[in-house]
């Protein structure tokens, strides 16, 4: 059986499988690796938009930005919630007036999009040191904790990733990405939550 986390039903099956037999330790079974590699590629399907808050820490400084993702589009906002940029399919937009108007910055060719997707898949497939812990507590929620080391597909930079995934639904409530370019550690912590009813703007109507 493949241990995926692309749906609430699959997530529930995972919880039933592992928690039901009392496992609560780090593991590197093939099913564990499949779950982590699925997360790394963003191959998740949800019926509602997802709102996130990302905190980047580097050289003692912090930068916060917000995000809204509906599976097709991704809206990036500043810490106050003002729109900054927007990615829809193969189009990238920016705004200088908090979303009142949008400027098309770039349209990516199909081969570029395909190359990026293939790069993410290769990056996930080559990942190492994968561990999974099951049935942990995160702010009162039962979660599975995944950790992984990998090399960034377009630069080869060593990366470390961690995910805190809902034990019942497979939803990633929290993630952490750590890199160390030039000896300056960069940490990106992201917390997410479902955002039903929220709508991402479409500059093309």
pLDDT tens figures, 111-132: 999 998 999 999 999 999 999 9
- The span from the first CA to the last CA of the chain, in angstroms, equals 43
Q: What is the pLDDT of residue 16?
A: 28
- pLDDT tens digits along 188-199: 999 999 999 999
- pLDDT tens digits along 9-21: 233 333 322 333 3
- pLDDT tens digits along 45-76: 678 999 999 999 998 899 999 999 998 899 99
According to DSSP, the β-strands at 83-88 and 73-78 are antiparallel
Q: If we measure between CA atoms, which residue out of 129, 57, 117 comes closest to residue 89?
A: 117
Please state whether the predicted TM-score (pTM) of the whole model is above 0.85.
no
Tell me if 28 sits within 8 A of 37, measured CB to CB.
Answer: no
- pLDDT tens digits along 141-167: 999 999 999 999 889 999 999 999 999
Any idea which of 16-30, 55-69, 88-102 has the lowest mean pLDDT?
Answer: 16-30
């Amino acid at each position: 059986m493949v241990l995926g986390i692309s749906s609430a039903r699959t997530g529930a099956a995972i919880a039933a499988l592992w928690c039901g037999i009392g496992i609560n330790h780090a593991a590197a079974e093939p099913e564990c690796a499949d779950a982590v590699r699925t997360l790394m590629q963003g191959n998740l399907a949800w019926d509602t938009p997802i709102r996130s808050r990302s905190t980047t820490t580097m050289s003692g400084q912090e930068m916060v930005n917000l995000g809204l993702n509906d599976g097709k589009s991704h809206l990036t906002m500043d810490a106050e919630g003002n729109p900054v940029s927007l990615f829809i399919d193969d189009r990238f937009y920016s705004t200088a007036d908090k979303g009142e108007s949008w400027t098309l910055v770039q349209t990516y060719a199909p081969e570029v999009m395909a190359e990026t997707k293939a790069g993410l898949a290769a990056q996930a497939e080559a990942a190492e040191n994968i561990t999974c812990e099951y049935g942990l507590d995160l702010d009162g929620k039962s979660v599975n904790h995944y950790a992984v080391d990998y090399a960034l597909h377009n630069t080869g930079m060593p990366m470390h990733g961690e995910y805190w995934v809902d034990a019942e639904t497979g939803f990633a409530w929290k993630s952490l990405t750590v890199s160390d370019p030039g000896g300056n550690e960069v940490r990106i912590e992201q917390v997410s939550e479902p955002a039903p009813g929220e709508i991402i703007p479409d500059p093309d109507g």
